[in-house]
């Protein structure tokens, strides 16, 4: 079996003295900054709303830090406890080396959810609208994150003989699916297009919770599909047979929860609705 040689890209873009600027960190920065700019454009697009957006640009600026902390802390904690708990208990100093990789999307999503719920309560703003905006922009970060996984040569796929199979430096001599690129396409490009159609053609932002529900469901479906091509983490392996993985197990509840939220969005929005003051916001 032969495969396409892996384009051996240095995970470090540039060294500035003792400082190493890594593609992995740049992917997170690019996702946050571009996602933030995309949200601001949506807020400034009147046709997406009934009147004006119920969230100001200043509130989005402040929420960015909360979201960043939520995704980093949640993603790392989720990976440590779900995917490699025994290793990190033996090497606790490695818990903080996030630049080496090892982030859980499911943990990051939960971290962002908790962070934005707290933020929206503190600022008395509609939580579901804020989360809709964040979810509409999230595929941008997913795309860059999966490209960074590819550059790092991590999270590669299962052995295959397809023409585009690739031999990864850490995956042995066997050609494998470049599953990171599958995820970048499904979780990034395809999901972004679906959410873009919902927000800009079908007015989904006027029904708070819909975009968030479709995003959660869409990510879950995309992840389950890719898990059939992705090699499970060595320390976890298959949970059942040669097909059920931890990624699938964590994604199925997301599909169900996302579908339920999209269906019952008005009920959830009313339950979470804040008591807004009449003060004009900037």
Q: Which residue has the tokens 């890719």?
A: 226
Residue of 189, 253, 185, 246 lying closest to 216 (CA atoms): 253
Per DSSP, 97 falls in state: -
Question: What b/e sequence results for 224-259 when a residue is b if at least 16 CB atoms lie within 10 Å of its CB, and e otherwise?
Answer: bbbbebbbbbeeeeeeeeeeebbbbebbeebbeebb
List C-alpha distances in Å: 202 to 5, 258, 265: 43, 18, 15
What is the distance between the alpha carbons of residues 101 and 97, in angstroms, rounded to a whole number? 8
Q: What is the largest CA-CA distance in the chain?
A: 68
Contacts within 8 Å (CB) and 24+ apart, 116-121: 116/63, 116/66, 116/67, 116/70, 118/66, 119/62, 119/63, 119/66, 120/272, 120/274, 121/274
- H/E segment holding residue 194: helix 191-200
Determine the Cα angle at 104 with ends 103 and 107, to 5°. 125
Task: Find all residues with CB under 8 Å of 245, minimum gap 6, and list them.
Answer: 227, 230, 232, 236, 238, 239
Chain-centre distance for alpha carbon 154: 17
Q: Is 146 annotated as a binding residue?
A: yes
SS3 5: strand
Binding-site residues sit at 146
């Amino acid at each position: 079996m032969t495969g396409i040689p892996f384009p051996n890209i240095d995970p470090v873009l540039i060294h500035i003295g003792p400082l190493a600027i890594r593609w992995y960190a740049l992917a997170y920065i690019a996702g946050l900054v571009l996602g933030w700019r995309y949200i601001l454009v949506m807020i400034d697009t009147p046709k997406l709303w009934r009147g004006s957006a119920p969230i100001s640009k200043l509130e989005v600026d402040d929420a960015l830090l909360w979201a960043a902390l939520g995704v980093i802390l949640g993603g790392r904690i989720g990976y440590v406890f779900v995917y490699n708990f025994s290793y990190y208990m033996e090497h606790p100093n490695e818990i903080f080396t996030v630049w080496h990789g090892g982030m859980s999307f499911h943990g990051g999503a939960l971290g962002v959810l908790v962070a934005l719920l707290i933020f929206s309560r503190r600022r008395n703003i509609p939580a579901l609208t804020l989360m809709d905006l964040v979810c509409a922009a999230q595929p941008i970060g997913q795309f860059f994150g999966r490209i960074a996984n590819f550059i790092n040569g991590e999270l590669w796929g299962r052995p295959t003989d397809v023409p585009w199979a690739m031999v990864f430096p850490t995956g042995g001599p066997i050609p494998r699916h470049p599953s990171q690129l599958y995820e970048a396409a499904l979780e990034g490009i395809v999901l972004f297009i679906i959410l873009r159609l919902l927000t800009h053609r079908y007015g989904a932002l006027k029904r708070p919770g819909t975009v968030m529900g479709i995003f959660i469901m869409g990510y879950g479906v995309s992840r389950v599909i890719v898990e059939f091509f992705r090699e499970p983490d060595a320390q976890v392996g298959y949970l059942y047979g040669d097909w059920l993985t931890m990624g699938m197990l964590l994604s199925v509840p997301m599909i169900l929860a996302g579908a339920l939220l999209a269906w019952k969005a008005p009920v959830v929005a009313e339950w979470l609705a804040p008591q807004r003051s009449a003060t004009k916001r900037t």
